[in-house]
Structure 1
Amino acid sequence: MEAIYQFVKLDKSESLQDFAQKKLDKLEVKYDFIVRAEVYFKKEEAQDPAGYICNIKLSVPGPQLFAESNKDSFEAAVAESVKDLDRQLSKKKSQMKTHSN
């Protein structure tokens, strides 16, 4: 899976990128049909105490999957978005099994 990282009005962070990549790798192991991930990090100053936003778009067969979360750290936002995508992917996988039978 190709992963693209965008830091919106932020300095690029290798450690944050690595953290997100590890989470995405776990999804890829479970769901081999993921083609690409686009991960966006942005900070919303007006949203104290949260305001650390991570949104992830996944390219999969059919419509793209999307999750966004706003937490008090980027790591928490990544974890929440990945958890949401895991639920969506699980649902998609069961739909794909239904169609292939």
Structure 2
Amino acid sequence: MKINIQFVNMSTSETMEAYTEKKLASLAQKFEKIINVNVFFKIENNSKDKGKICEMELSVPGPRIFASSNEKNYELAVKKTISDLIVQLKKRKETTKPY
């Protein structure tokens, strides 16, 4: 699995990259058909409580899977986004038929 992390209109963070890669590694152990992951970290300036946005796009066999979350910090945003991806991957796994 190839991981591409981009920070949009903000400075990069090595600790955030390491945290995201660790979480995605556990996701890859559960679902082995993941080919590529694009991760985007964004900041929303006009938000009061939230404003830390994490978007993830998975390349898997079939249509791509996308999830996004807006939380008060990036760690929560990564957790929420990955949990949304897990739900979508489980649904996809149930509908695919092994031939």
- TM-score, structure 1 length as denominator? 0.95
Please list every run of 5 or more consecutive structure 2 residues that lacks an aligned counterpart in the other structure: none
Q: Residues 13-53 of structure 1: CA distance to partner in whole angstroms, max 9, x if unpaired? A: 01001111111111100000000000000000111210000
Identity of aligned pairs, percent? 38
Give the Cα–Cα distance (whole angstroms) in 1 for the partners of residues 48 and 36 of structure 2. Answer: 31
Give the Cα–Cα distance (whole angstroms) in 1 for the partners of residues 61 and 47 of structure 2. Answer: 35
Q: Pick from 70, 76, 100: which aligns with 2:98?
A: 100
Runs of 4+ in 1 over 3 A off after TM superposition: none
- TM-score, structure 2 length as denominator? 0.96
CA RMSD, Structure 1 to Structure 2 (Å) = 0.8
Equivalent runs, 1:10-29 vs 2, <5 Å? 10-29=10-29
**Between Structure 1 and Structure 2, how many residues are aligned?**
99
More helix per residue: 1 or 2?
1
